[in-house]
Amino acid sequence: MEDFSTIDIKINNINNNIKKNKVENPNEQDIIAKNFSKNNYIFLVNNLFSNNPQMLHEELSNNESKMQKSDINLKEFISIHFEYDEPKKKIIYDYLSYKINLFKNFQKISLNIKQFEEKIIFPLYERITSKANQEKKNLDYILYKYTKIIKKVLNKFDIIEEIAPYGSYVNNFMGEKGDIDICIIPKIPWYSCRGYARKINSYIKNHYIGHITLFHKSKNFFLISICDNETKKNIDITIHNYLPVINSQIIKIYSQFDKRFHIMGIYIKYWAKLNQVHGAAYSYLSSYALILMIIHFLQNVIKPRILPNLQKIPVNDDFDNPIFKDNIYKYYNRKKQVSTNLYFESDMKKIENYLNYINKGEKNEESVGNLILKFFEYYSYFYDDKYLISIKRNSLEECLKEKKDNYAFSIEDPFELNKNPGSSMTKNRAEHLYFVECMRKEINSILLGKNIKE
């Protein structure tokens, strides 16, 4: 791994070459600068989010001392090596200085993080998952009830390929209260489904089964929203909306593979709702967007990786000579037929072997408290919006955007092309700034033990 002095030598060499007119191509200087900025961003991320926090902060402190002796201080290092704007450079400098100083009392910080786990995270996780399991049993009945209704209305037309639930009912991230989403996967194109959607709508109304709150044609599917008269639960029935079914299934596999991801997801969803920074309808992020951000963080930011990329695991066991599988699904996006690959690995032993292969035998044993702290650090201080948040790409290098946008967090959907689950939050608007402020407050509370209930 490169250290700060190695990077400084690289920068000086590039500057010297430019001064001596060794750059023959007039665009080469821009290319060098762009690549160097990208490499340094990845270097920064790899160092700050490595496996051993004590070693990391000792390294930061030692390097700060070395840089001061050679007249290069931390502020100059950040200024030279990273293409952040000046206000963000100052924020990063202030935070790194604060943390270097804070971690001089590493034992106290470690105790605070441990108590954060024992007194807040784990009890909260047990409470929410216990209530969610009970809620899921109640929803099992609703799924059975509405599956039966759908079959009664549509079976005579022989258009049903499959009826599948999706959302939090499937993906393992249901809260204390839940609803259910049901997808009818038909044998016919979505634009031929309007009449069948109306038949379900009419049957539910005419038999007083539920109150229809919405009947809607989206860009490529139909939606019926219902409040069930018997249970007062909300049910969404969609027709030809298959990709969320697959999204729910892949998230479930990730949650089963490493419990730390499941705990992080439950806690961060709870934190977002508690701080009222949750919900796409309010210009914040949906639960789905937050979950994708956590997976990306555990795949491409934390080292060694905690989660592999399930969509890039070869079907053969010889990972040095990989053979990949395609499961092509065609669907309509704004009246245009497109295709996407739905393949992902679900065999736990195979996933474990692949993770061991890409980590070169290293295991990440970091505690869930540290991971939650680092999640908030990454997205509130160090995330660079020139990079996509993606769970379908193998590294940060692959996540560099092709074009700029104005989203606070550009999140790539794992299966649906040209969909950004983070599009609800605009960069530097009030909601984004408040979301970041809440993350930074949570960091401070964790480090100083402010949120620990005595």
What CATH number should be reported for the domain holding residue 300? 1.10.1410.10
Lowest mean pLDDT among 38-52, 157-171, 339-353, 358-372: 38-52
Which pLDDT band, with edges at 50, 70 and 90, does 15 fall under? very low
234-249 tens-digit pLDDT: 999 999 999 999 999 9
Same domain, 215 and 286: no
Asked if pLDDT for residue 52 goes beyond 90, the answer is no
Rounded CA-CA distance 400/389 in Å is 9
Asked if pLDDT for residue 31 goes beyond 70, the answer is no
Asked if pLDDT for residue 360 goes beyond 80, the answer is yes
Which residue in 256, 312, 311, 264 sits closest to 290, CA to CA?
264
Question: What number of residues does the chain have?
Answer: 454
Within a domain: 93? no
361-378 tens-digit pLDDT: 999 999 999 999 999 999
Same domain, 58 and 171: no
400 φ, ψ (degrees, to nearest 5): -60, 130
What is the pLDDT at residue 453? Answer: 52
Same domain, 59 and 138: no
Lowest mean pLDDT among 104-118, 164-178, 341-355: 104-118
Same domain, 271 and 373: yes
Same domain, 145 and 26: no
DSSP H helices, 27-171, are: 28-48, 53-69, 74-81, 86-102, 106-116, 122-154, 168-171
How many domains does the structure of the chain reveal?
A: 3
Within a domain: 252? no
What is the pLDDT at residue 40? Answer: 58
Same domain, 302 and 334: yes
What is the pLDDT at residue 7? Answer: 37
Which of 219, 244, 269 is a domain's end point? 244
Amino acid at 281: A
How far does Cα 277 stand from its chain's mean position? 16
What is the pLDDT at residue 198? Answer: 93
Asked if pLDDT for residue 13 goes beyond 50, the answer is no
Same domain, 20 and 48: yes
Which pLDDT band, with edges at 50, 70 and 90, does 386 fall under? confident
Which pLDDT band, with edges at 50, 70 and 90, does 35 fall under? very low
Within a domain: 282? yes
Which pLDDT band, with edges at 50, 70 and 90, does 97 fall under? confident
Same domain, 239 and 269: no
Within a domain: 249? no
Which of 184, 214, 244 is a domain's end point? 244
Same domain, 317 and 221: no
Q: Which residue has the higher pLDDT, 350 or 401?
A: 350
Lowest mean pLDDT among 45-59, 139-153, 265-279, 281-295: 45-59
Within a domain: 119? no
Within a domain: 96? no
Q: Provide the CATH number for the domain around residue 160.
A: 3.30.460.10
Calculate what percentage of the chain has a pLDDT beyond 90: 60
Q: Which residue has the higher pLDDT, 276 or 8?
A: 276
Q: Provide the whole-model pTM.
A: 0.85
> Over the chain, what is the mean pLDDT?
84
Which of 244, 267, 300 is a domain's end point? 244
Asked if pLDDT for residue 347 goes beyond 90, the answer is yes
**Quick one: tokens of 257?**
């593979």
Residue numbers of the domain that contains 30: 4-81
Same domain, 230 and 267: no
DSSP secondary structure letter of residue 49: T
What is the pLDDT at residue 187? Answer: 92
**Distance (Å) of CA 160 to CA 145, 187, 247, 248, 339:** 17, 6, 21, 20, 21
Run of H or E residues at 389: strand 389-390
End-to-end CA distance of the chain: 41
183-216 tens-digit pLDDT: 999 999 888 898 999 999 999 999 989 999 888 8
Mean pLDDT of 311-334: 89
Mean pLDDT of 73-100: 73
**Distance (Å) of CA 4 to CA 8, 35, 98:** 6, 17, 19
Mean pLDDT of 306-324: 94
**Quick one: tokens of 110?**
């470690």
Query: Which range, 56-60, 68-72, 129-133, 394-398, has the best average confidence (pLDDT)?
Result: 129-133
Same domain, 274 and 395: yes
Rounded CA-CA distance 103/16 in Å is 37
Rounded CA-CA distance 443/421 in Å is 25
Which residue in 249, 253, 213 sits closest to 233, CA to CA?
213
Within a domain: 104? no
Mean pLDDT of 148-168: 95
Same domain, 277 and 210: no
Within a domain: 250? no
